[in-house]
């Protein structure tokens, strides 16, 4: 087996893409490959969680990138998000040029992209001779047999257009899906199982009686506090990106004996996931998959105005694997049934097989690679210091 050099690019909003990136990083380095750099695209109101930098030994470069604008730290405004992209276009163009300098400097054999639009734009404008692989749950939107639930034609058009942009220039698109879909007619698109850490599959589960909550947006903390005031006897551990918890309370804020807020911590979250009674989360992807694998009752609460999360919640409900709500009514999860055992068994099988499939995709040649004749130019010079921050 030949070893190669990989550059990873990841969208930094939410936990899912970051954890998938870390899992791929671990897989590649365990096989002797070099990960020369990880580029994280972050909107202006997001910080990269501390645990991410602690988990890797290669340079991590955070670049300003388009993201959602949130009202009061909770609801999404699509039009304000588009407006912010326009007014910050110079920053995003500067990020794109810097991404290009990193690629030109490192000359990776493969660029692996976890739904980061900067990497997609780079693939569109400067194809180069390296292989490009795009990995995300959202690529199921590009499968001809997948209907995006709860969305109109305009919303579907926007979701699919943005998703295509993130994968521009890719030789392979891996669509992560909780359930199987028929092979796509597009030979560059492959539907595969979710990418979960190996340690998730080795956890011993128990029930210590508390509800585990994951808040992608800290504005929902007031909902948790309000529900807790009405139900003080129910124990809750809540993970959030709130700056007050992270800085003022040094990453841990105990309201009382029944409610604790934690800063984002991948390992602690996983330990609590194994021993919680039930899980309440925004309608992303990673936490849903982990809860399903461990057989935990699950309630999904989409972020207000977030069409993608609403679609995820509706899809999970129609598959019978989770309930969903527009509010953080935590009591509902205590009566929520877990997914059918036949579904969970098939899901576990697919997840166990996924790492081997993923390595085949990452290490194997791309069908489109032979058709590429454009050499990757050394277009732009770079300063040595740019790689180290």
Confirm whether 234 is domain-assigned.
Answer: yes
Q: Are residues 144 and 269 in the same domain?
A: no
Looking at per-residue pLDDT, the higher value among 96 and 49 belongs to 96
pLDDT at 341 over 50: yes
One domain for residues 27 and 110 = yes
- Residue 254 located in a structural domain: yes
Residue 304 domain-assigned (yes or no) = yes
Indicate if 282 and 372 belong to the same structural domain. no
Report if residue 389 sits inside a domain. no
Give pTM, 2 decimals.
0.87
CATH number at residue 268: 3.40.50.2000
Residue 375 has pLDDT above 80, yes or no: no
75: how many CB neighbours lie within 10 A of its CB?
16
Are both 14 and 68 inside the same structural domain? Answer: yes
Which pLDDT tens digit goes with each residue over 83-113?
A: 777 888 888 899 999 999 999 999 999 999 9
Whether residue 116 is contained in a domain is answered as: yes
Task: Quick: pLDDT tens for 141-194.
Answer: 999 989 888 778 888 888 899 999 999 999 999 999 999 999 999 999 999 999
Same structural domain for residues 43 and 172? yes
Measure the CA dihedral 259/260/266/267, to 10°: -90
Whether residues 11 and 139 fall in one domain: yes
Q: Are residues 297 and 150 in the same domain?
A: no
For residues 143 and 214, membership in a common domain is answered with no
Q: Are residues 308 and 360 in the same domain?
A: no
Domain span holding position 209: 199-341
Predicted pLDDT of residue 241: 80
Q: What is the pLDDT of residue 185?
A: 94
What secondary structure does DSSP assign to 273-331, as a single string?
HHH-SEEEE-S-SHHHHHHHHTT--EEE-PPTT-HHHHHHHHHHHHTTS-EE-SS--GG
Residues 293 and 356 in one domain: no
Weakest-pLDDT range from 3-7, 113-117, 275-279, 294-298: 3-7
Q: What is the pLDDT of residues 198-244, one digit of tens each?
A: 889 889 999 999 999 998 787 889 999 999 999 999 999 999 888 78
Helix (H) or strand (E) holding 154: helix 153-166
């Amino acid at each position: 087996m030949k070893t190669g050099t990989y550059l990873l690019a990841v969208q930094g909003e939410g936990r899912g893409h970051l954890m998938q990136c870390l899992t791929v990083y671990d897989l590649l380095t365990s096989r002797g490959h070099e990960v020369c750099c990880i580029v994280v695209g972050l909107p202006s109101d997001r910080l990269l969680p501390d645990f991410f930098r602690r988990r890797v030994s290669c340079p991590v470069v955070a670049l300003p990138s388009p993201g959602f604008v949130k009202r009061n730290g909770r609801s999404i405004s699509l039009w304000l998000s588009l407006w912010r992209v326009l007014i910050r276009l110079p920053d995003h163009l500067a990020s794109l040029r810097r991404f290009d300098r990193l690629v030109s400097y490192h000359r990776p054999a493969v660029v692996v992209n976890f739904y980061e639009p900067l990497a997609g734009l780079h693939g569109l404008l400067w194809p180069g001779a390296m292989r490009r692989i795009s990995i995300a749950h959202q690529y199921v939107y590009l499968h001809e047999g997948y209907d995006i639930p709860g969305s109109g034609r305009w919303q579907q058009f926007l979701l699919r257009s943005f998703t295509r942009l993130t994968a521009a220039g890719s030789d392979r698109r891996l669509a992560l899906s909780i359930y199987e879909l028929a092979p796509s007619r597009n030979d560059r698109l492959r539907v595969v199982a979710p990418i979960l850490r190996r340690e998730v599959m080795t956890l011993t589960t128990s029930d210590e009686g508390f509800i585990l909550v994951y808040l992608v947006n800290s504005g929902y903390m007031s909902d948790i506090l309000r529900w807790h005031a009405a139900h003080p006897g129910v124990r809750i551990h809540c993970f959030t990106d709130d700056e007050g918890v992270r800085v003022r309370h040094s990453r841990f804020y105990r309201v009382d004996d029944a409610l604790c807020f934690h800063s984002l911590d991948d390992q602690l979250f996983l330990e609590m996931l194994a021993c919680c009674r039930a899980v309440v989360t925004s309608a992303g992807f990673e936490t849903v998959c982990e809860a399903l694998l461990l057989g935990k009752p699950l309630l999904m609460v989409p972020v207000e105005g977030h069409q993608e999360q609403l679609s995820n919640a509706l899809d999970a409900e129609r598959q019978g694997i989770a309930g969903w709500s527009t509010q953080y009514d935590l009591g509902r999860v205590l009566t929520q049934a877990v997914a059918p055992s036949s579904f969970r068994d098939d899901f576990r099988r697919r997840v166990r097989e996924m790492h081997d499939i993923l390595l085949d995709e990452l290490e194997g040649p791309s069908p489109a690679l032979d058709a590429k004749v454009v050499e990757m130019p050394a277009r732009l010079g770079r300063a040595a210091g740019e790689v180290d921050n």
